[in-house]
Structure 1
């Protein structure tokens, strides 16, 4: 019996050491990515938004609506965003264990609603003046999603501070692009934050069940980015039924849906005393 106990203690210690090494490695990768991004901003030339950014494959005008499918494929964002916001505010439907988490998820669903309206406004007449209304709500959604992970898995104080800092950074990036016609800060933000979300979901253990939905959402996000860069090729491949950009909208709308399912079905795990002390 004593041998079994010793083996269990040794095994648990080994797992903790492996997790600690993994966290250190992940922190180093994130810091290196951040430093690379700063170097990219400081030493690379200004990058204005290219006019080709607004040239999508599907330009059909159906029922008098310009770029029809690129517009109407934003409707799922509105449905999921409104339902998610209402259920979060209701307080008894989603499994959310702290007020800080509630604030983060409220902001996330508000950002998704903003994506619906902002993207519709942009796609009705795509240009540099309207694109910020498409970009900013998505950056707000990224910020709140990462903050909710930090609040849940690392600590409430650092998560709330992170959320405030990221929101300030999102508005600063968009304002900088608007004033100087330079998309470098927005590119950095949109590159670093999804990477940070994936890293945090992988490295830090969840306090809830059904954490696999985070990884499903990451997979859907990668698929959406593939569809975005393959806009014209996918449009030709399906005989001009739907473009890659419209498919990207549908894929991205699936992410808040998956996370909402997670919030409905997940349950709080029993925490060890040591884990509780680490978050205080």
Structure 2
């Protein structure tokens, strides 16, 4: 009896600790926005190492390396809707993964359009699809860790927030909201995956995807250095595109091979 009470108290403390941690993070983000000056988008952010024009396509590699997003996005979109190829156990998860792979298709077209002529006007079409993909990916994690209702609420709130962040940047030339959105979600995804158990196997792919994302961001920051290292064969930003395209591939592999844990336990007992 004493062990039961102690275990119950520990679980309650652990749950409250997580809630307070999430609340503190949210308040820190609000304070960061309220007490930091406006951050306009600099024109220097549109200056990439790849300025080559091959076959009449400006910034050729930065444009062409978006093609993998289109291929993976279309395949993932079709498989998620089909329902027989991916192991998805609820309708909410179906919509989450459909929106994610649809976001990948949007990234393919939006990023290619932006890189043909990078400027503050076109960057909207590069930013919004990526934020939609982040929103749906976080929601997919909530679906499998919590409930379908919680996941749907999360997805609706995040998608609306993504649109509002982009509109705020567009109207006020202030990228603070977009920066917070694109920094917090990639960190929140592995944090939630670590703290809460999944009903599926193969959860390690969430952490693999996070590692790929961090590697891609490193390649983007070292755009010109990697261009020089490769003797101007490929730039860091183009490598970033190719690396980011590995994320939906790795998550697709997870969706193919994962199983419900309780179903796996039942099958094991049946074999015994």
TM-score normalised per structure 2: 0.91
1:1-280 to 2 correspondences below 5 Å? 24-270=16-262
Alpha-carbon distance in structure 1 between the residues aligned to 2:51 and 2:85: 41
Q: CA deviation at 1:144?
A: 0.4
Cα distance change, pair 156–65 in 1 and its aligned pair in 2 (3 A): same
Does structure 2 conserve the Cα–Cα contact (< 8 Å) formed by 1:150 and 1:158? yes
Does structure 2 conserve the Cα–Cα contact (< 8 Å) formed by 1:122 and 1:134? yes
Alpha-carbon distance in structure 1 between the residues aligned to 2:10 and 2:211: 25
Which residue number in structure 1 is paired with residue 270 of structure 2?
Answer: none
Alpha-carbon distance in structure 1 between the residues aligned to 2:5 and 2:69: 44
Does structure 2 conserve the Cα–Cα contact (< 8 Å) formed by 1:22 and 1:203? no
Alpha-carbon distance in structure 2 between the residues aligned to 1:140 and 1:255: 15
Does structure 2 conserve the Cα–Cα contact (< 8 Å) formed by 1:70 and 1:245? yes
Alpha-carbon distance in structure 1 between the residues aligned to 2:207 and 2:50: 31
Does structure 2 conserve the Cα–Cα contact (< 8 Å) formed by 1:207 and 1:268? yes
Q: CA deviation at 1:26?
A: 4.4
Alpha-carbon distance in structure 2 between the residues aligned to 1:14 and 1:61: 68
Does structure 2 conserve the Cα–Cα contact (< 8 Å) formed by 1:26 and 1:199? no
Q: Figure out how many residues of one structure are paired with residues of the other and give that number.
A: 263
Alpha-carbon distance in structure 1 between the residues aligned to 2:7 and 2:76: 36
Does structure 2 conserve the Cα–Cα contact (< 8 Å) formed by 1:62 and 1:68? yes
Q: CA deviation at 1:92?
A: 0.6
Q: CA deviation at 1:33?
A: 2.5
User: What is the root-mean-square deviation of aligned Cα atoms in Å?
Assistant: 2.1
Q: CA deviation at 1:87?
A: 0.8
Q: CA deviation at 1:188?
A: 1.0
Q: CA deviation at 1:12?
A: 10
Alpha-carbon distance in structure 2 between the residues aligned to 1:11 and 1:225: 47
Structure 1 residue runs without a partner (length 5+)? 1-8, 272-280
